[in-house]
Structure 1
């Protein structure tokens, strides 16, 4: 990504995104009990670069929503809350090294690079499990999650999904990619 790339929303995009986020926030109060939208919006308006990242999450069908508030840092935490792994982020291998290792049939991108370009982080396994306490996600798809260096060093990467009302963690070669596997992001504001 070029450093000159503009990471700012137009006033129209900003208003549309805030409206979408507010509507989703109000529809899903179980994800953020005791939180007020006005406080979230004030925080977002004070950090326009975070709005850009949320727009990227929304643009790629992640349906970001507030899932927690960090008392220590005063930050709201957003996760992708789409029912299935975000459509605009599927068919990607795990990272750049994996992408370059493929001799043929390379995917367009990698999860780690896409997340960095969007300004978000891949969910950790722990965050993924927390998300699953808020609803049933990835019943038909799966999502790459941050992989421990010890596994990645050996060529693997991990992903999660939910089947049989249980969250499963699996492994695959980091260079693999599937139409039903993407990634979910997190953003602190």
Structure 2
């Protein structure tokens, strides 16, 4: 068995795990119709069942506290779009700096991980600022926490990274050194299915 085969086999859920996750996702979908007004669950489930690796990624989003839900459908690519919709930044993804370069630059008190590597390992992408703002249109998220968002290359080259939160009924975008990390900052992801 090659390393790639080993990774692929570890990225599959058992039938029971798959059924449990689909049941959870369906209940969340039905409870939050404001996020996906004109979409039907049966079509989402059909695509889920056809893509075990994407189901695994959604299970990772769920396992780390993201509460993924469908937030849209891209007609041009025939893909459903899932975002982490937990009220606060996912608990299992906090206390991390922005990327590997930032993590490696710390001389001491290094965090255990970083947002970009975690997202990649989960098979998802970190939200952009635009996606983050779009999410905030369906509710109020990160009123006590904050979330790293995809940082423009020009900012990152200068050592910075950006994050967002919601305070005073307003979405704010801030900056920090990419190597910084806090117990109340994680990241939110997007998965296209």
Count of residues in Structure 1 that have an aligned counterpart in Structure 2: 188
Which shifted more, 119-128 or 2-11? Answer: 2-11
Cα drift, residue 23 of structure 1:
0.3
| Structure 2 residue aligned with 1:130 | 134
Q: 2:186 aligns with which of 179, 182, 185?
A: 182
Q: Is it true that 1:153 corresponds to 2:157 in the alignment?
A: yes
For residues 87 and 188 of structure 1, the distance between their equivalents in structure 2, rounded to whole angstroms, comes to 22
| Structure 1 residue aligned with 2:74 | 70
| Structure 2 residue aligned with 1:40 | 44
Unaligned runs of 5+ in 2: none
| Structure 2 residue aligned with 1:83 | 87
For residues 129 and 50 of structure 2, the distance between their equivalents in structure 1, rounded to whole angstroms, comes to 30
| Structure 2 residue aligned with 1:95 | 99
Instruction: List structure 1 segments (4+ residues) > 3 angstroms apart after TM superposition.
Output: none
Cα drift, residue 47 of structure 1:
1.0
TM-score norm. by structure 1 comes to: 0.98
| Structure 2 residue aligned with 1:59 | 63
TM-score norm. by structure 2 comes to: 0.96
In the TM superposition, 1:103-118 aligns within 5 A as: 103-118=107-122
Q: 1:141 aligns with which of 141, 145, 160?
A: 145
- Across the aligned residues of Structure 1 and Structure 2, the Cα RMSD in angstroms comes to 0.6
